[in-house]
Amino acid sequence: MWANLKQLVYPKEFRIEPGNGLTPDVLVRVDNLSQLLEKNAREPQPGNDDAAVELAIAWWEARKRSKRMEELLGAEEPGFGPHVRRMKDILKQMEQRVIKEMGIEIIDIEGEVWNKDDYRFEVLGGESVSGISHPFVASTLKPAVIRHGSFLQMGKILVNSPEEDGDEADH
């Protein structure tokens, strides 16, 4: 809540809307899931894969929000810099302590050239874009999740394709 109130100090066009940043509830969700999985890491339990997927998605969302906050605010911003750095530290520790230790692989291909044979992702849409020569992943809506080599969740993406030349279509 204090973060939302602190935004009032800035001009409206520079404020971050609630929910667009890395909020404490996201970190709490990630931490709760990591504790659950850490407890069961050495003794696989039924349903553990569902918790692994949920942890992977929560961690991925938190990391994505953290990067967006850093881009918007900068890690050296006096009011927010220490918070952004702390969030990055927490996410890095969690990645090393939980994500990697548990054999979770999170695959996000945003910005990469799209390979239509990539079975790990479902294309939900996209648009035609002029000036590009190959389709590329414009946005990852959900990453693909793999655990110990087993495919747990298909990712969801938006793919932008080269605009077709209208003159050639007429001939």
Tell me the CA end-to-end span of the chain in Å, nearest whole number: 60
pLDDT class for 138, splitting at 50, 70, 90? very high
- Which residues 6+ apart lie within 8 Å of 169 measured at CB? none
Residue 9 has pLDDT above 70, yes or no: no
pLDDT class for 101, splitting at 50, 70, 90? confident
Residue 45 has pLDDT above 60, yes or no: no
Helix axes 81-94, 48-73, angle to 10 degrees: 150
Please state, in angstroms and rounded to a whole number, the distance separating the CA atoms of residues 10 and 169.
51
One DSSP character per residue, 70-125 reads HHHH-TT-TTTHHHHHHHHHHHHHHIIIIITTTTEEEE--TTSBP-TT-TTEEEEE
Residue 5 has pLDDT above 50, yes or no: no
pLDDT class for 167, splitting at 50, 70, 90? very low
Please state, in angstroms and rounded to a whole number, the distance separating the CA atoms of residues 44 and 21.
34
**Alpha carbon separation from 37 to 48, 107, 110, 122 (Å, rounded):** 7, 19, 27, 27
Place of tokens 């553990």: 48
pLDDT of residue 59: 84
Domain residues of the chain, as ranges? 1-102, 104-171
Tens-place pLDDT, residues 53-85: 888 888 888 888 878 777 776 656 556 666 667
Mean pLDDT of the region 18-26? 54
Which option is the CATH number for 104-171: 3.40.50.2300, 3.40.50.970, 2.30.22.10, 3.10.105.10? 2.30.22.10
